[in-house]
Amino acid sequence: MTRPTKAIAQQLLNDFARVSNVSAKDMLFDEQDVIKTMERIEVINYHAWMEVSGINFTCYNAGHVLGAAMFMIEIGGTRILYTGDFTLEEDRHLCGAEIPPPEALTITLTIIPTPNLGPKHNLALTPALTLTLIGGSP
């Protein structure tokens, strides 16, 4: 998890615990649970890598929201890029996503049409995806 994501998650979880209108026995978690959870979260910076059980993970900016990340996973000599939502275009407060060349790609997207989000936004990644899927590199 990136530092901004951890900070935002802590605030959201604490807010949820404070405003829950349920009895203490029915609460999913309390602020002490949030503290314990935050202590267990490992933070990774963009462009940093970590190894877990022989699998390497490198973190890249996804550009979607503050702290959004995509991960290049290297396992058995294969590089797999995993990402959720991402944004390629820069705006006032965020850089666009960094797309390192993978050998395989896994994307989980939420696409919601808005007046500011037109077809060109979604099609900007098409050449990189097409080249990657047919075995080339963007």
What top-level class would CATH report for the domain 44-138?
A: alpha beta
Locate the domains of the chain by residue range.
1-43, 44-138
More confident residue, 138 or 37: 37
Question: Which range has the top average pLDDT, 20-24, 27-31, 46-50, 85-89?
Answer: 46-50
pLDDT band at 57 (very low <50, low <70, confident <90, very high): very high
One-letter amino acid for residue 2 of the chain: T
Provide mean pLDDT across the span 80-104: 85
